[in-house]
């Protein structure tokens, strides 16, 4: 399997898993939807996946949010309590290595994740390479710190500024 396929597969898996768990536990408040009602009090991967699947396939959490039923509360604060997507699967190390060299598949995947269009990815690689020390300031940054530092660098660049203002 090529490194590119592995990197892209890892990004899709991490984002998909984060999305599923965020929906099961956070959207509409903890306990929103029939899936959470049926699996109330259970923990572990299987009950979470089943609760998420139940809520997603039946649409009951969406109905609950709009109608104020099914244990859903649209006024509940959304949150994320998981690990950074970059810290998982060693992505942060791969991004750092590629950024330090100015090219690479992990850096390309990071650009895609940030919404950088194909025609601007080489420029993104050059700019992040030039500002590597601003993005990785201590060598022990969290994924969130690297992300925020990257956005700060992008905001100062005429070509990349438009991507820094959009959600990733």
pLDDT at 120: 96
More confident residue, 119 or 76: 119
Q: Helix, strand or coil for residue 159?
A: coil
What is the rounded CA–CA span in Å between residue 20 and residue 10? 15
Task: Mark whether 95 and 158 lie in a shared domain.
Answer: yes
Task: Mark whether 51 and 102 lie in a shared domain.
Answer: no
Total domains in the fold of the chain: 2
81 found inside a domain: no
83 found inside a domain: no
Residue position matching structure tokens 């699996």: 39
74 found inside a domain: no
pLDDT at 67: 79
What is the rounded CA–CA span in Å between residue 22 and residue 44? 15
pLDDT value at 150 more than 50: yes
Residue 119: pLDDT band with limits 50, 70, 90: very high
100 found inside a domain: yes
What is the rounded CA–CA span in Å between residue 164 and residue 156? 9
Overall pTM > 0.75:
no
Residue 162: pLDDT band with limits 50, 70, 90: very high
Most confident of 18-22, 124-128, 142-146, 162-166: 124-128
Q: Which domain holds residue 13?
A: 3-67
pLDDT digit string, tens, across residues 55-100: 777 777 777 777 778 777 777 665 555 555 555 456 788 899 999 9
Task: Mark whether 102 and 138 lie in a shared domain.
Answer: yes
CB 55 within 8 A of CB 82: no
CB 140 within 8 A of CB 150: no
Q: How many helices (H) and strands (E) does the chain have?
A: 10, 0
């Amino acid at each position: 399997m090529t490194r590119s396929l592995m990197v892209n597969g890892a990004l899709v898996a991490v984002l998909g898993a984060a999305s599923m768990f965020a929906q099961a536990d956070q959207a509409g408040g903890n306990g929103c939807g029939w899936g959470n009602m049926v699996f109330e009090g259970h923990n572990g991967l299987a009950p979470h996946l089943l609760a998420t699947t139940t809520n997603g396939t039946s649409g009951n959490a969406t109905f609950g949010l709009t109608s104020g039923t099914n244990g859903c509360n649209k006024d509940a604060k959304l949150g994320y309590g998981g690990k950074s997507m970059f810290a998982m699967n060693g992505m942060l190390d791969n991004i750092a290595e590629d950024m330090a060299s100015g090219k690479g598949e992990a850096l390309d995947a990071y650009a895609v994740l940030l919404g950088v269009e194909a025609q601007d990815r080489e420029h993104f690689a050059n700019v992040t390479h030039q500002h590597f020390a601003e993005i990785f300031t201590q060598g022990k940054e969290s994924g969130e710190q690297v992300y925020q530092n990257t956005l700060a660098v992008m905001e100062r660049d005429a070509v990349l500024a438009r991507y820094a203002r959009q959600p990733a």
